[in-house]
Structure 1
Amino acid sequence: MFDIDRRVLALAIARMADSAGNSFLIVVLPLYITSGVITGDAFGLTATAITGIVLSLFGFLNSFTQPFAGYLSDKSERRKVFILLGLAILALTNFSYSLASSYPVLIAIRAVQGIGVAFTIPCTIALVNDLASKENRGGNMGLFNTFRLLGFGAGPIAAGALVHQGPYHLAGIDITGFEAAFYIASAGALISFLLVTLLVSDPESTDAEAADDFSISILNSRGGLDPIFTLALASLFMAISIALISTLETTINQRLDQNELWFGLEFAAFVLAQVALQTPIGHASDRYGRRQFIVVGLVLLVPATVVQGFVTTPMQMLIARLAQGVAGALVFAPALALAGDIARKGQSGTQLSLLTMAFGLGTAIGPLSSGFLVKFGFPVPFEIGGVLAAIGAVLVYTQVEQVQPSSGAKPTPQD
């Protein structure tokens, strides 16, 4: 068994709570937009297009703010204060959705949420990285992501059921299914805020030595791609592939003749597969090396993504999403751990933010692109997602060198 810092465990439980609440929105917001609650000018766009914008806006703003947040946490040697700031904004904006009745207001809330949460994600990952060592980094990253994804996977299942069973009558107050989902999402963020406040502290020293400039390497001195940048590209392609179905909820439900609960199960299947595999795979990468897990995961992601464009039953889609979950588990924790191994001392917030930024950007590009590409045929978004996964596998195989698995092992120099 690998060593776990109690602060990593507390961070993992906190992320589980806020992820469960935040993942409600992936299922609830598309239904909320098409329910008739939101009225007024939709900027001349269709419901599918405006849904893609709302879902993607969070990812775009969140992603581009993350390197700035990571850099600030490196320079200040303080991670916790930024984590709490993001959680407070998340709680407030989740509640605010229940008050939105027009498209401009909905978009404004989503924009504020995207920027605010950007201060939580890279600082949390950097703190886990600071608290771990090369001997147990994969296991710690795997454990953290297991709890985070457990909440993220449970959220869509609960959200689909919550909306479907509403409205509710509590203590003399009528609450719609949508309002109940937004309130629970806000409560999840508040619980996380309390857990981090009470149980998490910054490490005694992060040895911050962040550079004064804000540059991120794309190429190494030999003309190849920088390994951390390559891992970020692979994370980007993986995120795009797994997020393609988000905007297509209504289309998929009609195509497969299923209800919202089935879609929630299908969406969550990816995450729940990772819950079972993240920790053992992360621990295995500590012992056997990280690159081969990443490459195999990206290769598996190709057929698991493409087949979703051709399934004809809810069960087939569920199996395809489970296969995507296995692929994602093989990539996610080993990639973060490998980037942590390579990252320069005192700059983990800045450098690891490149991976978290890429993943968030992928979750934004996926829904936006699928809403456009589906016009050319339902299989097209998934075929393109498969091509991107294949490119990611080739890049990691050719541009990232193996890290020798052993206690205190160091990555082969890339420069």
Structure 2
Amino acid sequence: MKKTIKEQKAVLIILLSNIFIAFLGIGLVIPVMPSFMNIMHLSGKTMGYLVAAFAVAQLVLSPLAGRWVDRYGRKKMIIIGLGLFGIAELIFGLGTNVGVLYFSRILNGFSAAFIMPAVTAYIADITSIEERPKAMGYMSAAISTGFIIGPGIGGFLAEYGIRMPFYFAAVLAFVACISSIFILKEPLTKKQLAEISAITAQTSFFSDLKRSLNPLYFIAFIIVFVLAFGLSAYETVFSLFSDHKFGYTPKDIAAIITISSIFGVIVQIFLFGKMVDKLGEKKVIQICLISGAVLAVGSTVITGFGAVLAVTCLIFLAFDLLRPALTTFLSRAAGKEQGFVAGMNSTYTSLGNIVGPAMGGILFDANIHFPYLFAAVIMVIGLGITVKWKEKQFTENNV
């Protein structure tokens, strides 16, 4: 029988600290992206392609990373991912041409392919099915908290140069990597890893992809794809939209993201687990998709800092609840295949992240409102797909 979250509090804190630091580094650079875009004379299309390059790299490596998480252990993959993340941020900060920036984003994609499946599988390993929604909510809150502090620090560091946040992110990643080597412990025994590895060795990427078409997983994976597709299109242009339409400074953008993230974290920590217990993953996801679509359309007509802040708080909350709801369902259905499911989750997310940012950047150049309307349409499509989600069937298949 697995220990309760309270009994494993120290382990969970260490693990959440790692994911927090990784996303703190990502959050640091958000406020400076418009300035970076203007100084290097980059178009919205190029910015979209830079985000898409990250997703392509994550897509290529995610299936292998998911298998390696099961074969070599969660800890090793987390360490490798954090190390790559630090190198990628350092290169981006030093980059002076688009080619170097693309290389950095590719390394960043590789790091994400290692970190996310490993952390998700790690948390699933140490929690019971009953407590997993709460633990996944904590993980999502740790990610959001990274964005809370990140943009604020990024806006402050930007006063000393727009490249400074990238250097700071690199240092944080290296600190997290070194700390993990000495503090984090592998949750599975060598025997358990060997057993899972024996099963993994009998499969290939294409067999894994075929296995993802199993009705037990497929509808959820499709929703993961649709969510990533619409969400990435929205998030990619958020800071650019705020800069071009309202003339917001990096500090203004940082303030909006920080307040919105705090709101999301509070709900995730105190209400997400209760919401899933009462409504189930399906209803939580549907409510979030409906809210997200309405608010994305609303984003195109609002004016004034207060209105922008209010709508952004609510739409970010919808996105923040969607992620752990989907992740909770998939980890609950995965059983002993945590690495496989986490890897496929990352793969389908990457597929959405490839097309979404590229489309968002192209649409932004055509009309700054189009990416938001595009995201709303995609979320409505996702809502339609959830109608085919037979939650009872998934529950019965999970042992």
TM-score, normalised to structure 1, is 0.83
The one-letter amino acid paired with 2:263 is A
The one-letter amino acid paired with 2:74 is R
- C-alpha distance in 2 between matches for 1:179 and 1:400: 48
Query: 2:237·2:364 contact (CA, 8 Å) conserved in 1?
Result: no
Query: 1:139·1:280 contact (CA, 8 Å) conserved in 2?
Result: no
Q: Which residue of 2 aligns with 1:307?
A: 298
1:292 to 278, 283, 286: 283
Counterpart secondary structure, 2:237: coil
Q: Which residue of 1 aligns with 2:389?
A: 399
1:212 to 203, 206, 209: 203
- C-alpha distance in 1 between matches for 2:106 and 2:123: 27
Query: 2:44·2:365 contact (CA, 8 Å) conserved in 1?
Result: no
Q: Which residue of 1 aligns with 2:127?
A: 132
Tell me whether 1:332 sits opposite 2:332 in the alignment. no
Counterpart secondary structure, 1:118: helix
Q: Classify 1:60/1:317 alpha carbon distance in 2 versus 1 (closer, same or farther; 3 Å).
A: farther
- C-alpha distance in 1 between matches for 2:218 and 2:258: 29
1:26 to 13, 17, 30: 30
Query: 1:9·1:144 contact (CA, 8 Å) conserved in 2?
Result: no
The alpha-carbon deviation at position 129 of structure 1 amounts to 1.1
Query: 1:298·1:389 contact (CA, 8 Å) conserved in 2?
Result: yes
The alpha-carbon deviation at position 183 of structure 1 amounts to 1.8
The alpha-carbon deviation at position 17 of structure 1 amounts to 1.5
What does the per-residue CA deviation read over 1:259-301, in whole Å, with 9 as the maximum and x for residues that have no partner? Answer: 2222223344553332112233442256333222122122211
Query: 1:83·1:119 contact (CA, 8 Å) conserved in 2?
Result: yes
Tell me whether 1:55 sits opposite 2:51 in the alignment. yes
Q: Which residue of 1 aligns with 2:218?
A: 229
Query: 2:78·2:114 contact (CA, 8 Å) conserved in 1?
Result: yes
Tell me whether 1:9 sits opposite 2:13 in the alignment. yes
Tell me whether 1:240 sits opposite 2:240 in the alignment. no
User: What does 1:5-404 align with in structure 2 at a 5 Å threshold?
Assistant: 5=8, 6-36=10-40, 47-76=43-72, 78-163=73-158, 165-166=159-160, 177-205=161-189, 206=192, 208=196, 209-210=199-200, 211-214=202-205, 215-216=208-209, 217-220=211-214, 226-243=215-232, 244-247=234-237, 249-284=239-274, 287-288=277-278, 289-345=280-336, 347-402=337-392
The alpha-carbon deviation at position 227 of structure 1 amounts to 4.1
The alpha-carbon deviation at position 30 of structure 1 amounts to 4.3
How many aligned positions are there?
Answer: 381
The alpha-carbon deviation at position 195 of structure 1 amounts to 3.2
Counterpart secondary structure, 1:378: coil
The one-letter amino acid paired with 2:59 is S
Identical-pair percentage? 19
- C-alpha distance in 1 between matches for 2:389 and 2:276: 20
- C-alpha distance in 1 between matches for 2:179 and 2:294: 40
Query: 1:14·1:196 contact (CA, 8 Å) conserved in 2?
Result: yes
Query: 1:73·1:123 contact (CA, 8 Å) conserved in 2?
Result: yes
The alpha-carbon deviation at position 60 of structure 1 amounts to 2.2
The alpha-carbon deviation at position 101 of structure 1 amounts to 1.4
TM-score, normalised to structure 2, is 0.87
The alpha-carbon deviation at position 201 of structure 1 amounts to 1.3
Structure 2: gaps (5+ residues):
none
The one-letter amino acid paired with 1:246 is T
- C-alpha distance in 2 between matches for 1:92 and 1:330: 31
The one-letter amino acid paired with 1:202 is E
Structure 1, 12-21 or 249-258: larger mean CA deviation: 249-258
Counterpart secondary structure, 1:183: helix
Query: 2:31·2:251 contact (CA, 8 Å) conserved in 1?
Result: no
Q: Classify 1:350/1:359 alpha carbon distance in 2 versus 1 (closer, same or farther; 3 Å).
A: same
Q: Classify 1:338/1:117 alpha carbon distance in 2 versus 1 (closer, same or farther; 3 Å).
A: closer
- C-alpha distance in 2 between matches for 1:286 and 1:136: 11
